[in-house]
Amino acid sequence: MARIVLGVGGGIAAYKVVDLLRRLTESGHRVHVVPTRSALNFVGATTWAALSGRPVTSEVFADAEQVAHVRQGQEADLVIVAPATANLLAKAAHGLADDLLTNVLLTARCPIVVAPAMHTEMWDHPATQANVATLRARGVTVLEPAVGRLTGLDSGKGRLPEPAQLATTCEQILSRGSATPDLAGRTVVVSAGGTREPIDPVRYIGNRSSGRQGYALASTAAGRGARVVLVAANVELPDPAGVDVIRVVTAAEMGEAVLASSTTADAVVMAAAVADFRPVDVAAHKLKKGQAEPAPIGLTRTDDVLVALVLGRRPGQVIVGFAAETGDESADWLEHGRDKLARKGCDLLVVNQVGVQLGFGTEDNAAVVLAADGDETAVERGPKHALAEVVWDLVADRLR
């Protein structure tokens, strides 16, 4: 059970944070809600107190005999601020302390997570971006806002990530137990899901990938302070908190998006199951069953995205591949993985054995991470975010 300070900024998205509070308390955590004065215009102190089971105030001089403005920050295992308005980001970046929440941010020595929410123009403003960069440079994990419907008829980047995803981020950071986000200031690209290569307007060649491992990698990287670009192929999962998502369908679209995003990335992790082949010809209309046997479907190779990344890598960039393998008469699954590492030339290759209810489409995973220098790291079967943590540990070591 962790001690969490939940700071609430004065934005309309404060109503969504009620659900985040519920999720954190139901997980057994002790949550102290610290709203700003403006936040109480959207959700009152009575609601926060009833759901947290603790007194709620925004004032520095309340409960003065307990020195709450210092004690809450000192004792916290995690501080999360949601929503963080442009004004609150500016105060935090410049060390202002005119209410209880900003005092807590100055005294906390635990991990701090900030989830901004505001209109797109406010988020894109150079002043806001400078404040975000300052906070990230100090080790604060500032999540990227989601894209979607904002206040009124506006839509764009600036939406608060969904409470369920914010709760997942909190749990991942607490399980790691480190106050320093070791990927802060880094940009990483992660691919996820399985590509689909069309046969006709209805049918396609695909695979069993659900995208869960790639999404776990993206969520974990965001929780470790990275700016994350997630290239997702045909995934039906909620967007991870604080991650920019690019949606694609085919291997060609995957390659284009990953290569374009990787030009400024410090690390690229290719967790997607990218098709090795695509039909030579795509029918313009749905193929009818008819009476005769169908004509064979001619296949041609798709471009190898991982090899293209390795050939065009930036200096110091870390590239990680994934290999979903099965054994055959020539070698077992791990030997095939070692051969693939030698052929691809990436820094790390995550090799996992796949099959029915094994690897693809499951909640857990097991793997061996092969390194170009000969090291091998075995990861026992467990939640996919646990494998993600190991991968980022190895990537962070190489980035250092």
Give residue 179's pLDDT. Answer: 65
The position carrying tokens 């000969």 is 374
CATH code for the domain defined by 187-399:
3.40.50.10300
Side chain identity at residue 150, one-letter code: L
Q: How far apart are CA 297 and CA 21, in angstroms?
A: 54
Per-residue pLDDT of the chain (400 residues; tens, 9 = 90+): 899 999 999 999 999 999 999 999 999 999 999 999 999 999 999 999 999 999 998 887 666 666 566 888 899 999 999 999 999 999 999 999 999 999 999 999 999 999 999 999 999 999 999 999 999 999 999 999 999 888 877 889 999 999 999 999 999 999 887 667 899 889 999 999 999 999 999 999 999 899 999 999 999 999 999 999 999 999 999 999 999 999 999 999 999 999 999 999 999 999 999 999 999 999 999 998 887 788 899 999 999 999 999 999 999 999 999 998 888 888 888 999 999 999 999 999 999 887 555 556 678 899 999 999 999 999 999 999 999 999 999 999 999 8
Residues of the chain with CATH 3.40.50.1950: 3-176
Give the helix, strand, coil percentages of the chain, each rounded to 5. 35, 25, 40
pLDDT, tens digit, 9 for 90 and up, residues 182-226: 998 899 999 999 999 999 999 999 998 999 999 999 999 999 999
Q: Are 305 and 299 in contact (CB under 8 A)?
A: no
List the 348-353 sheet strands across, edge first: 243-248, 227-233, 187-193, 267-270, 318-325, 348-353, 364-371, 376-383
Q: Which element (helix H / strand E) includes 233?
A: strand 227-233
- Chain-wide mean pLDDT for the chain? 92
| Angle between the N-to-C axes of helices 163-176 and 384-399, in degrees from 0 to 180, rounded to the nearest 10 | 60
Tokens of 193: 């899901």
According to CATH, the topology of domain 3-176 is: Rossmann fold (3.40.50)
Structure tokens at 185: 């200031």
Query: Helix or strand or coil: residue 192?
Result: strand
CA distance 32 to 48: 9
Rounded Cα distance between 11 and 378, Å, is: 45
**Contact indicator for 109, 72 with CB cutoff of 8 Å:** no
The number of CA neighbours under 13 Å toward the Cβ of 271 is 34
Given a contact cutoff of 8 angstroms between Cβ atoms, the answer to whether 364 and 383 are in contact is: yes
Residue ranges, CATH 3.40.50.10300, the chain: 187-399
Distance CA 105, CA 179 (A): 13
Residues forming the active site: 207
